[in-house]
């Protein structure tokens, strides 16, 4: 699991232009470090002094889900990941997990989709 965690730490960088809080990866509407922008009437902004209540938790859970369980369970999750990578145009790596998706009424990312499906 440490190897997967390290790969995720290196490959999933904090970048702009992707969905979710760059610290906890959850939708910004859920993360307490973000606040709705009532001045503009739309969007969110980083709250001064706001802290993620789940920093690191989603990434750790996804790393565990990718490495723990029976061989069949892990193989099934790996097949799902490869399918999503192909849909996203990636051949390898974890960077694709930061790309935007919609789950219900929340804009989030592929990492949260993985957790939603397998967690």
The pLDDT tens digits for 36-59 are 877 776 677 788 877 888 888 888
- Phi first, then psi, for residue 108 (nearest 5°) are -145, -150
3-state SS class at 36: strand
Q: How confident is the model at residue 11 (pLDDT cuts 50, 70, 90)?
A: low
H or E element in which residue 101 lies: strand 100-103
**Which domain, by its residues, includes 75?**
2-118
Q: Are 62 and 8 in contact (CB under 8 A)?
A: yes
The pLDDT tens digits for 61-118 are 888 898 889 999 999 998 998 888 888 777 667 778 888 888 888 788 888 889 989 9
The pTM for the full model equals 0.74
Which parts of 6-69 are beta strand (E)?
34-36, 44-46
Structural domain tally of the chain? 1
How far, in Å, CA of 88 to CA of 58, rounded? Answer: 21
């Amino acid at each position: 699991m440490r190897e997967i965690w390290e790969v995720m730490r290196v490959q999933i960088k904090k970048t702009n232009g992707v969905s979710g809080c760059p610290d906890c990866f959850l939708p910004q509407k859920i993360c307490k470090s973000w606040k709705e922008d009532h001045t503009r009437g739309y969007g969110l902004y980083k709250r001064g002094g706001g802290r993620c209540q789940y920093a690191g938790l989603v990434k750790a859970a996804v790393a565990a889900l990718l490495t723990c369980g029976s061989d069949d369970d892990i193989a099934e999750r790996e097949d799902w990941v490869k399918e999503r990578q192909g849909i996203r145009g990636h051949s390898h790596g974890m960077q694709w997990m930061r790309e935007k998706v919609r789950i219900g009424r929340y804009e989030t990312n592929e990492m949260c989709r993985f957790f939603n499906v397998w967690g």
